[in-house]
Amino acid sequence: MKILLIEDEVKLASFIQKGLKEDGHNCEVSHNGSSGIERAAVEDFDLILLDIMLPGQDGFEILKNLRTFKIDTPVIFISALNETEHVINGLDLGAIDYIKKPFDFEELKARIRNVSRKFQDKRTTVLKLNDLVLDLVQRTVVRSGEKIELSKREFSILELLLRNANRVLSKTEITQKIWNIDFDMNSNVIEVHMHQLRKKIDENRDTKLIQTQVGFGYKIQGELTKQ
């Protein structure tokens, strides 16, 4: 699952992120509500893990804003506020679960598996942009009916571009999300992968989907539909 964790306790966030990645999930972290809402608005997540006591607006307000913005990603509250009234408030606002801190990590994993079972039929499994089709389950890419073989890394980059269609992604953002490391200004790894990806996706085709924004980054241009 692709999970967004909104948690201001840096050490706890790092611990949860590490554990979830070891369990096979893609977990991204925001340390405040504003950045969390922004990421939830521009990226597709399967689940949001949301703390309540955050700087600025609290988790309850964040959930209200997410729903106001028509972001219906499932939310699990993770909070030290363990009074019954807080749990009831969180569930009444639309959270699907509420985990009290401190918690056993195996319990968190079990709650996430439960979410996966409940919402797996609603998850996006196919991303289609113009004549390009990416199947997230079969891990296949087809353009104009022609199957395209991509490496695991190329597939991940293409998925990232499609999920952020028509938005420029910087090399720093791509590096952090695909490699989970800080961008090295002296490295040309992004250029190499983008060159290979563009060659496979766009070469000898009238319509070029992958575009370079000089000085900014890359984007894929077209009308995206999800199935």
Q: What secondary structure, in 3-state letters, does 101-162 show? A: CCCCHHHHHHHHHHHHHHHHHHCCCEEEECCEEEECCCCEEEECCEEECCCHHHHHHHHHHH
pLDDT confidence of residue 201:
97
pLDDT confidence of residue 181:
57
Kindly report, as residue ranges, where domains of CATH 1.10.10.10 are found in the chain. Answer: 126-226
What CATH number should be reported for the domain whose range is 2-122?
Answer: 3.40.50.2300
pLDDT confidence of residue 16:
94
pLDDT confidence of residue 120:
61
Residues 183 and 173: their CA atoms lie apart, in Å, by 8
Nearest to 61 by CA among 43, 75, 47: 75
Strands 2-6, 26-30: pairing is: parallel
Q: Was domain 126-226 assigned CATH 3.40.50.150? A: no
Whether this model's pTM surpasses 0.75: no
Cβ-based neighbours of 53, under 8 Å, separated by 6 or more: 8, 59, 79, 80, 81
pLDDT in tens, 154-171: 998 999 999 899 999 998
Instruction: With a cut of 50, list the residues of the chain below it in pLDDT.
Output: none
pLDDT confidence of residue 185:
59
- The three-class DSSP label of residue 35 is helix
Residues 140 and 214: their CA atoms lie apart, in Å, by 29
Kindly report, as residue ranges, where domains of CATH 3.40.50.2300 are found in the chain. Answer: 2-122
pLDDT confidence of residue 186:
64
pLDDT confidence of residue 122:
56
